[in-house]
Amino acid sequence: MRFSKAFIYTSKETPAEATLPSHIFLLRGSYIQSVGAGLYNFLPLGKRVLDKIRAIVKEELDKAGCQEVDLAFVTPSELWIESGRYEKYGKELLRFRDRKDAEFVLGPTHEEMMVNLVRSYVKSYKQLPLNLYQIKTKFRDEIRPRFGLMRGREFIMKDGYSFHESYKDMLKEFNKMEKTYSTIFKRMGLDFRIVEADSGAIGGSGSKEFMVLANSGEDTIVVCDSCDYGANIEAAKRVAPKAPEEKPEMTFGKFYTPNVSTIEDLSKFLHIEPYWIVKIVAKKALFDGGVEKIVLFALRGSDELQEVKAQNVIDANELLDVEASELEALGLVPGFLGLKDLPNDILVVADKELEGENCCVSGANEKDYHYVGVDLTKLDLTYKDIAQVKEGDICPKCQKGKLSFTKGIEVGHIFQLGTRYSKPLKAEFLDKNGKLKPFEMGTYGIGVSRLLAAIIEQHHDNKGPIWPVTVAPFEVEIIISNVKKEEELTKANELYEVMQKEGIEVLIDDRKERFGFKMNDFELLGIPYAIIVGKKIGENKVELVDRKSLEKEEISFEQVLDKLKEKLNK
């Protein structure tokens, strides 16, 4: 490609809205163009990188026995109603009607469509296992799209679905996909970690996320300092923390605690560690059919509620904040919420680490009063894991390492779905005994467009991205120092043609610009190597520049091709 003819328009100005390096460089380098909230055009450079990423994904999946399909983007809403996700998916699902007033959704993911496809063809265990995937545009009407390609509304995802006759067989595929995904991300030069995850709106049991470690990541991941445990904070577990002090002596009683409504104040007032105080977090939960319910979550005062865990244990679609007035309407007293003397129909979930606790402090559901010495074992409570892991907690896997937080960008997610979709959608096959059984399923996603951003977040300097060769838009750029010098122009063109014949992806900067201008563009584009054809061409010498180190190496014109091929492993 000749730069003088290419649709590449770099900019010196940093766009006002961009804060992350990936967003800034993608815009400045004319890889993408912003067209609206969370919507982007891919320009030639961006498209080239996207295609490289796509190709790697496809190559590895096909090698692993997966088959590519391409499903309709616009999907009839009946399928979504059938699976029960029409409501559960919430506002992120874009719904609309066609001219005949039929309802449709823009696919945010394709479980329904894929199950629908497979159930209409696959009737026998002999046709299994099966792993189908597509690399396709998705639309999710995000509450707050941001950070460029990191969180867009329209984005490109690889979504794959596997179908099996048994749970065991599904697990085998799940493990295979874990390996395949690792290979894919390694080929892109990414430093990532596989962590345990929450399965969110997709549903299902076991799930793992592939997190690219980067400070700008939106996800907090919990890692152990002495083993390989890693989990998204939404799913992280821990060894129950030890009590910070010996259990205090308390006999049951009601205490006058005027204006003491926070855990911190109460701890000081009673001279007791928050560990012994039961904190109640009230939330408004939204369920299917628009049902709203106030739910109380009980935790140790030293802990915080993990909302995703909380939402999952009660199977709610969303958790919202509660107004004080809404609590008062139920006869509850904000600031003095407790576990005793609650209205009968209220849903209460206690953290599992409180189970068996027989001596703690809790609100009395009465203004300015708390109970002490409350015995939880005498109350009929549901116990679930709803507390958020903290830094310094003990690792659940090795039981000795300390947990700490780090930030990650989620680029892949694999789920063991089981029969979560096959059952409601009646996707069944005949097993060896002639019995109808729902498919055991797995589902596997890769954020293809997000990968562009993730790769830059991990590979850049202050001048621009530094693309790994495997995903770079071009492998090398030839920079003609001064196009008015006949010899430079001729030699550079000669090199350009030889390289093209050799199958090297090359961009030649043949613009009538000054040397510095071209070097800056080379750095901003992030192409892995440059060959400068300049003033030393008279001595038959050119320079090879490594984008990463920015070091220049002088070599003879004849050697440059071999040297470059060596660097590119060609």
Partner RNA sequence: CGGAGUGUAGCGCAGUCUGGUAGCGCACCUGGUUUGGGACCAGGGGGUCGAAGGUUCGAGUCCUUUCACUCCGACCA
Pick 125 or 269: Cβ nearer RNA: 269
Of 170 and 492, which CB lies nearer to RNA in the complex structure?
492
- The secondary structure of 54-109, three-state, reads HHHHHHHHHHCCCEECCCCCEEEHHHHHHHCHHHHCHHHCCEEECCCCCEEEECCC
Cβ 178 to RNA, closest distance in Å?
31
Q: Which is nearer to RNA, 83 or 481 (CB)?
A: 481
Is the Cβ of residue 130 or residue 314 nearer to RNA in the bound state?
314
CB of 133 to RNA, least distance (A): 30
Residue 22: both structure tokens together = 């990936």
Angstrom distances, CA of residue 221 to CA of 210, 216, 389, 404, 443: 11, 12, 10, 8, 22
Nearer to RNA, 11 or 127 (CB): 11
Smallest distance from RNA to CB 334, Å:
3
C-beta of 327: minimal distance to RNA in Å? 5
174 burial level (CB within 10 Å; 0-12, 13-18, 19+): buried
Q: Which two tokens stand for residue 446?
A: 């890769």
Q: Minimum CB separation from RNA for residue 324, in Å? A: 4
Nearer to RNA, 166 or 261 (CB): 261
Whether the CB-CB separation of 19 and 216 falls below 8 Å is answered with no
Backbone φ and ψ of 476, nearest 5°: -150, 150
CB nearer to RNA: pick between 47 and 284: 284
- In angstroms, what is the minimal distance from the CB of 310 to RNA? 9
Q: Which residues bind RNA (CB under 7 A)?
A: 9-13, 15-17, 19, 34, 36-38, 143-147, 261-263, 279-282, 304-305, 307, 319-324, 327, 334-337, 363, 463, 481-482, 484, 512, 514-517, 519-521, 523-524, 532, 534-536, 543, 545, 550, 552
- Rounded Cα–Cα distance for residues 320 and 323 (Å): 10
Strands 292-300 vs 552-556: parallel, antiparallel or unpaired: unpaired
C-beta of residue 284 within 8 angstroms of C-beta of residue 319: yes
- Which residue bears the tokens 């700490």? 404
Shortest spacing between CB 69 and RNA, in angstroms:
32
C-beta separation of 21 from 460 below 8 A: yes
Helix axes 486-501, 560-568, angle to 10 degrees: 40
Give min distance, CB of 483 to RNA, in A: 7
Shortest distance (Å) from residue 241 CB to RNA: 17
Beta strands in 227-277 (DSSP E): 230-232, 253-256
Closest C-alpha to 478, from 411, 398, 565, 545: 545
In the complex with RNA, which residue's Cβ is closer, 33 or 182? Answer: 33
Cβ closer to RNA: 322 or 471?
A: 322
Smaller CB separation from RNA, 82 or 141: 141
For residues 534 and 481, give the distance between their C-alpha atoms in angstroms, rounded to a whole number.
Answer: 5
Q: How far is the CB of 563 from RNA (least distance, A)?
A: 16
Antiparallel, parallel or unpaired: β 347-351 and 382-384: parallel
DSSP annotation string for 278-331: EEEEEEEEE-GGG-EEEEEEEEETT--B-HHHHHHHTT-SEEE---HHHHHHTT
Question: Is 323 or 375 the residue whose CB approaches RNA more closely?
Answer: 323
- 542, 560 in Cβ contact below 8 A? yes
Q: Give me the least distance between CB of 516 and RNA, in Å please.
A: 2
Query: Are the beta carbons of 151 and 218 closer than 8 angstroms?
Result: yes
Q: Which is nearer to RNA, 117 or 347 (CB)?
A: 347
- Structure token digits, residue 234: 């939404």
Non-local (6+) Cβ contacts of 497 within 8 A are: none
* Distance of closest approach, residue 489 Cβ to RNA, in angstroms: 12
Least spacing, CB of residue 11 vs RNA, in Å:
6
Beta bridge mates, 232: 221
Three-state DSSP at 468 gives coil
- Token representation of residue 48: 């080239």
Of 90 and 244, the one with the shorter C-beta distance to RNA is 90
Distance separating alpha carbons of residues 541 and 560, to the nearest angstrom:
9
